[in-house]
Structure 1
Amino acid sequence: MDIEEYIRQIDDRWQDAFIGVWKTIGENLPEGFQTEMQHGMPTYAVPKETYPEGYHVDGGTLPFISVAAQKRHLAIYHMGIYSNNALYEWFTDAYPEHMATKLNMGKSCIRFSNPQNIPYALLGELAGKMTADEWIELYESRKS
């Protein structure tokens, strides 16, 4: 399945929100990432040409941000926020300035249960905070 096919199969309730989040991230992400399907989700990843070693789990491209439309929520998996405490703290501190709703977040997964309550500007800012080279450096430092 490719990304367009994935979008076509999303439930109507989540389709516009997914497209908005996917575009917002893509428009704000620094150069150096490619789009692909990974683990059943549309993903922005570091290509093998940039990071030949690849992801330690499967040797494929190094995932950075994935977006998934689930039955009850929209999920954003941000590997950089999982690995960088300062970035995690910045996001959790900034969230209340953008949304009145409670943040529903695990270590790398940001979940939205209402398609009307998504802080697109904040997600765009988050997407622009780490370059592919910075993500590779952080990934390498945490790998060992």
Structure 2
Amino acid sequence: MQFNVKTVQEYIEAIPVERKPIIQKFRKTILDNLPKGFEEEMSYGMIGYVVPHSLYPSGYHVNPDLPLPFISIASQKNNIALYHMGIYSDSELLEWFKNEYQKTVSTKLDMGKSCIRFKNPKNIPFTLIGELCKKMSPQEWIGLYEKSK
């Protein structure tokens, strides 16, 4: 689902009413746990958490005018999605997350390269998502990103 909005608050207002509390809880979980330095903004039509140009002036190589993306959350047609570029880029972090997910959630992990899909909001492991958010600072993400370019 793409929403033609400019702010995070407009995004939350635009999503279906039954998804609002879930997205708000996701947002709070991320904001409460993300290391200092990341900034929240609308990014690619989703709520995004980015490394701002003030910390990484080069920006995102695909479009240097944009800050370096790290995490995004989105209300999709059939699920709520969490995009985490650290999981995509760091195999140890990915393995940690998969193992912890299996210990925490009884359903099978539905995941793409950086996208974790939650079809049933009751199965969202918010505590685990919070732990995941703490695992990488903006400086660590920049270093990993630079190595992978």
TM-score bracket, normalised by the shorter chain, equals: over 0.9
Say yes or no: does 1:58 pair with 2:60: no
User: CA separation in 2, counterparts of 1:49 and 1:63?
Assistant: 14
1:24 and 2:50 matched: no
Tell whether 2:79 aligns with 1:73: yes
Distance (whole Å) between structure 2 residues aligned to residue 105 and residue 25 of structure 1:
19
2:106 is equivalent to residue 106 of structure 1: no
The DSSP-based 3-state class of the residue aligned with 1:16 is helix
Aligned partner letter, 2:38: F
Q: Give the Cα separation in 1 of the matches to 2:26 and 2:105.
A: 15
Q: Which runs of 5+ in 2 are unaligned?
A: 1-5
**C-alpha deviations, 1:25-65, integer Å up to 9, x for none?**
11000001011111111100001010000000111100000
8 Å CA contact 1:13–1:115 kept in 2: the answer is: no
Question: Given the alignment, which residue of 78, 83, 91 partners 1:85?
Answer: 91
Equivalent residue, structure 2, for 1:41: 46
Amino acid at match of 1:72: N
Task: Letter of the 1:43 partner, please give it.
Answer: G
- Amino acid in structure 2 at the alignment position of 1:19: Q
CA distance in 1, matches of 2:104, 2:22: 17
Q: CA RMSD in A?
A: 0.7
Gaps of 5+ in 1: none
Match of 1:140 among 138, 141, 146: 146
Tell me how far apart the structure 2 counterparts of residues 13 and 83 of structure 1 sit (CA, whole Å). Answer: 33
Aligned-partner residue type, residue 41 of structure 2: E
TM-score normalised according to structure 2 size? 0.94
Quick one: distance in 2 between partners of 1:58 and 1:41? Answer: 17
Q: Do the aligned residues in 2 keep the contact of 1:54 with 1:61 (CA within 8 Å)?
A: yes
Q: Does the residue aligned with 1:13 lie in a helix, a strand or coil?
A: coil
Q: Determine the C-alpha separation between the residues in 1 that align with 2:69 and 2:86.
A: 10
State the SS of the aligned residue for 2:60: coil
Equivalent residue pairs, number: 143
Check whether the contact 1:78–1:109 (CA below 8 A) recurs between aligned residues.
yes
> % of aligned pairs identical?
52
